[in-house]
Amino acid sequence: MSQDPTLAPSPQKQPSTFRSHWLNIRRKRFWLALTVVAYTLLGFFLVPVLISHYAEKAIEETTGRDAQIADVRFNPYVLSIDVSGFELSDRDGERLVGFDRLFVNFQASSLFRWAWTFREILIDSPYLFEERDPDGDSRLARLQAEMASRRPLNSEEKKESDLPRLLVGTIAITDGGARWLDHVPARTVDIEAGPVNVTVHELNTLPGRDGRQHVSVGLPGGARLDWDGTLVLQPFHSAGNISLSGGRMNLASAYLEAMLPLSKVTGMADLETAYRLSMDENGQLSARLENLQGKLSGFSLTGLEPTTDFLAVDRIELNDGSLSYPEHRIEIGSIEVGSPELTAWRDKEGQFSFEQLATADTVIESKATTGNENSAAWDIRIREVRVKNGAMGWEDRSTEPVGAVALGDLELSLNDVSNQDNEQISVRSSLAFEGGGRAGFEGELIALPGFSLQGRLELAELPLSLGQPYLQQRLTVAIEDGALTTGLDLQVQADGAASAVGELEITALELRNTQEDESLLAWQQMKIDRYEVDSANATVRLSAVRFEQPYGRIRINKDLSSNLDGLVLEPEAAPDPTSKNGEEAELSLLVGGITVSEGAMDFSDLSLPLPFETQVSSMEGTVSTIDSQSVEPANIQLEGQVDEFGLARIEGSMDLLDPVRHTDVSVEFRNLLMTNLSPYSAAFAGREIDEGKLDLDLLYRIKDGQLAGQNDIVLSDFKLGGKVDSPDAVSLPLDLAVALLKNSDGVIDIELPVEGDVNDPEFRIGGVVWKAFSTLITKIVTAPFKLLGNLIGVDSEDFGQFQFLAGRHDLTPPEMEKISQLLKALVQRPNLAVDVSGVYDPVVDTPVLQYGKLRSLVFERMGRDPTVEAEKDELLSDEIRNVLESLFVEQFPEISLEQIRSGFSAPPLDDPEGDEVLDELAYAGELRDRLVDAQSVDPGQLQELARQRAQAVYDAFLANGSLDPARIRLSDPEETKSEDGEWVVMELGVADAP
């Protein structure tokens, strides 16, 4: 089979055709092909090498840093460049800037549009590292400075302000990353961000050409930043919407944790706003944010010292916000804080926890200008701020024990909040205290230029135990129970002056003495219908204060201390008196009276040999108005029951703010059982009281510190008991005193005046009363007959004395009258006995007894009855003289009668020269006197005389039969001394009747 010659190739003709068409230099095809080949070779192979070489060299010359490019690819046909593995390192080898890939697709249409036109610019895995040194300098700042220093001195920067004409179809950044290392804060901040993804469409700088843009930036932690709007660069104008979703507080957290004593900051932010930005021909920027919405969720702060989760907020929402610039105005519709929980405390040194934030090193220097001092201030207005379901815990660790308050159900509403001067902000708040009690406030405040506040504050059932840690620093008292309720209209002025008008009630109060571990003070209710407090005028005005079922306890311990001693603790350091303002106004206090209903008090005294305890109950009464600015004292009327059937009443007037200036008060006790007072009698006089009832009227008047009091004491059916050992007891003859004081009805009625200087630091009313009582008893016992004389109207100092002539035992008529008067007095004192003790005076009574003995002897010799009275001169009769001479011779045999007679013989007076005559009277008297002196009187005879005298008094008392013989007691004779040498005085004694 033969081949078609037209189909068979011609070996000579084919090469000739190719060469003639393409390799012929005379043909345009050749040059076109050569150009294409050269363009291709240069574009694909040479250009990348040149770009890589000269780019690295230029960067190194410009920055002074090493630059590396791993690979460069250029497509001359699509005008695209693809750079891979770029890296710029700092002098220490640290990577500063880099990316994995840069792809730029240039459009030839730039020639027709007269604008740099790019179809797309893609950057894959860009990286930036910045590190700031402690002195504020940084790697990029040093890089910028060196680049500026390497710029040629003769280079001139373009002065044109217009931006280059630019059209970019798409700009995309994928998987970007950055690291920020800051050594300026006290603790280094190390932040890594990424991956970052950005897409921009239709970016251009052509005048009047809007480009609708959408930018979506992926941020670390899943956050996303979206921008949707228009952007015109020439002139600058942009409008659209910006939103941030899922934004975690990485950057803010790092700096907060570095600058403040915080260990952890958490939270997620969502933000959305519409905006408008523009710049006029003068370069003035205008900005407007509208419909700003924001939300911060799960916000919490952890830190401080000691480390604590001190702030946690479920959510913070911002709604309907707007910002205007250059108007400098910010308006926010509402800010709502949901379920905030705050923990605060004061440490042992007295520093508040949040002061740690204020004292932290928060200053970070910046070379940038942050603002112009002359720029306009921002006008910020918030229509409403709401806090819902808040809670707060407070601890005061400076006290022991720690003071703690827990608050819940916190609701706060602020309306019309503004930072402008004199703008009123409406406030409404309420909260609950853990363990009971609520608080609420509604009013207005002005924050600037000075803080002022007015409104209504309500406290309901606030537990007083909240103040226990602070009370315990001043008093040894524990608040066991009690709640405060008050409502007040409060005003606080900008100058700090405050005033309040309201009502107050404290219920179920119970205070315990922690030293004695017993109840100290209590009441069921204390109520004040109205009170007014004004700090500017230093005034406190109260309506009537009403106490329902008040109770108090007074206790005297064995060591004479009381449960009130030591209640007030001494401060650690006394306040400096010079620190007070000498012109500070004195407090003016007005109390519209005090009312007591169903009061009670327990009183006990354990210092007595017999412990004592009594109760006052059913106390009712009033105290009239108390005014510190008036000299008018308050009137007091109180009445209560003592034990089972006793009565106590207090009436009078007193300056309660200065009782030393004026007190005129009577205290009346009725029907008190004396057995309850036995411990006091035991302590004071060493005796118990077996029975008796007491009525007591005490009147105390104090004028300028001087006490003049009168105590009227009435004892009924009083009977002393046995003795009790008491080291402090005063030895008093109480039995005798009782007998002297108790009348025929068995009643003792005593008037006991007391006086003293209340200003004396040693003054004690109890000591004054007991001293007066002791003095009274002593006077009564030492002068009992003066008391008896007073009973019948006899004022005589010798009412209990009986006078006897020397040697005699008969009662004279005046003494018999005393007997009669004493009988009347003794009838009024049926428990009193008279002690009769005969007396004798050896000096006065002996001569009379000697004379009587001689007389008896003479009469016996004469055979006469010696008991018959005879004249003294009968001794001078001849018969008696003869007996005397006989007795003299017997008594004095050594002396002759003639010798005695010679001594009494002399001439008569009318005849001096006559014979001697015997003076018979003188002679007989001499014999008598010598014989009287010779008579012996022994002590028994003197004691017998004393017994006779006592018997005479005894018989006189019993003569009419009106007196029980048992009430007259005869005691042993006693020797005494006559004051006048003629009368011997016998003084009666008294004793309690058997």
Q: CA 455, 461, 465: angle at the middle one, nearest 5?
A: 110
Cα→Cα distances 491→68, 370, 430, 447, 541, Å = 73, 40, 18, 14, 16
The answer to whether 833 touches 826, Cβ cutoff 8 Å, is no
- Quote the distance between the C-alpha of residue 63 and its chain's center: 70
Tokens 């000591």 — which residue?
A: 767
Nearest C-alpha neighbor of 492 from the set 458, 433, 441, 534: 534
CA–CA gap between residue 740 and residue 598 (Å, rounded): 41
The type of residue at 454 is Q
Element (H, E) at 950: helix 939-958
Residues 6+ apart with CB under 8 A from 411: 387, 388, 389, 390, 428, 429, 430, 431
The string of DSSP codes covering 256-275 is HHHHSSEEEEEEEEEEEEEE
What is residue 843's three-state secondary structure?
helix
φ and ψ of 27, to 5 deg: -95, 150
CA–CA gap between residue 6 and residue 217 (Å, rounded): 69
Taking the chain (994 residues) in runs of 10, the rounded mean pLDDT of each run is 46 53 64 72 78 84 88 82 90 91 79 72 91 90 86 53 69 85 81 76 67 67 79 77 82 72 85 90 87 92 83 93 92 94 88 75 41 68 95 87 89 93 94 92 92 94 89 87 94 92 94 87 94 91 94 77 76 51 71 92 65 79 88 88 84 82 80 61 58 72 73 70 62 62 66 59 50 59 64 68 89 88 80 87 89 85 70 64 85 86 82 80 85 87 91 90 88 90 87 74
CA–CA gap between residue 87 and residue 95 (Å, rounded): 7
Nearest C-alpha neighbor of 803 from the set 793, 816, 792: 816
The answer to whether 587 touches 626, Cβ cutoff 8 Å, is no
CA–CA gap between residue 20 and residue 196 (Å, rounded): 58
The pair of three-digit structure tokens given for residue 718, joined into one six-digit string: 């009083």
Cα→Cα distances 116→75, 103, 107, 228, 236, Å = 18, 16, 8, 24, 18
What is residue 483's three-state secondary structure?
strand
Q: Please give the span between the terminal C-alpha atoms of the chain, in angstroms, as a whole number.
A: 188
The answer to whether 245 touches 297, Cβ cutoff 8 Å, is no
CA–CA gap between residue 675 and residue 689 (Å, rounded): 5
CA–CA gap between residue 596 and residue 650 (Å, rounded): 13
The type of residue at 851 is Y
CA–CA gap between residue 411 and residue 340 (Å, rounded): 10
Nearest C-alpha neighbor of 94 from the set 128, 62, 60: 128
Q: Residue 235, preceding bond cis, omega within 30 degrees? A: yes
Residues 6+ apart with CB under 8 A from 350: 398
CA–CA gap between residue 952 and residue 119 (Å, rounded): 158
Nearest C-alpha neighbor of 476 from the set 528, 449, 512: 512
The pair of three-digit structure tokens given for residue 810, joined into one six-digit string: 């008969």
Residue 330: Cβ within 10 Å count? 18
The answer to whether 836 touches 953, Cβ cutoff 8 Å, is yes
CA–CA gap between residue 954 and residue 956 (Å, rounded): 5
The answer to whether 89 touches 56, Cβ cutoff 8 Å, is no
pLDDT at 579: 46
What is residue 154's three-state secondary structure?
coil
The pair of three-digit structure tokens given for residue 681, joined into one six-digit string: 């009698």
Tokens 């009277």 — which residue?
A: 921
Cα→Cα distances 314→245, 337, 359, 559, Å = 17, 8, 28, 61
Query: DSSP E strands: which ranges in 560-659?
Result: 588-591, 594-605, 612-623, 626-627, 634-642, 646-654
The answer to whether 983 touches 803, Cβ cutoff 8 Å, is yes
Nearest C-alpha neighbor of 547 from the set 522, 523, 529: 523
DSSP assignment letter at 811: P
Region label for 207, one of left (φ > 0), alpha (ψ between -120 and 50) or beta (otherwise):
beta
CA–CA gap between residue 516 and residue 501 (Å, rounded): 38
CA–CA gap between residue 122 and residue 103 (Å, rounded): 5
The answer to whether 447 touches 414, Cβ cutoff 8 Å, is no
The string of DSSP codes covering 436-463 is S-EEEEEEEEE-SSS-EEEEEEEEEEEE
Strand partners, 599: 619
Question: Count of residues for the chain?
Answer: 994
φ and ψ of 830, to 5 deg: -65, -15
The type of residue at 91 is R
The CA-based diameter of the chain, rounded to the nearest angstrom, is: 252
pTM over 0.85: no
**Which domains, ranges and CATH numbers included, belong to the chain?**
608-781 (no CATH), 783-994 (3.30.1330.60)
Residue 510: Cβ within 10 Å count? 17
Positive or negative, the CA dihedral 410, 414, 417, 421 is negative
The answer to whether 365 touches 136, Cβ cutoff 8 Å, is yes
The pair of three-digit structure tokens given for residue 309, joined into one six-digit string: 């989760």
φ and ψ of 203, to 5 deg: -85, 130
The pair of three-digit structure tokens given for residue 982, joined into one six-digit string: 């003629």
CA–CA gap between residue 22 and residue 34 (Å, rounded): 9
CA–CA gap between residue 343 and residue 352 (Å, rounded): 11
Strand 166-182 to 127-132 pairing = parallel
Element (H, E) at 399: none
Strand partners, 448: none
The type of residue at 707 is L
CA–CA gap between residue 960 and residue 953 (Å, rounded): 13
Q: CA 917, 919, 921: angle at the middle one, nearest 5?
A: 155
What is residue 469's three-state secondary structure?
helix
Residues 6+ apart with CB under 8 A from 813: none
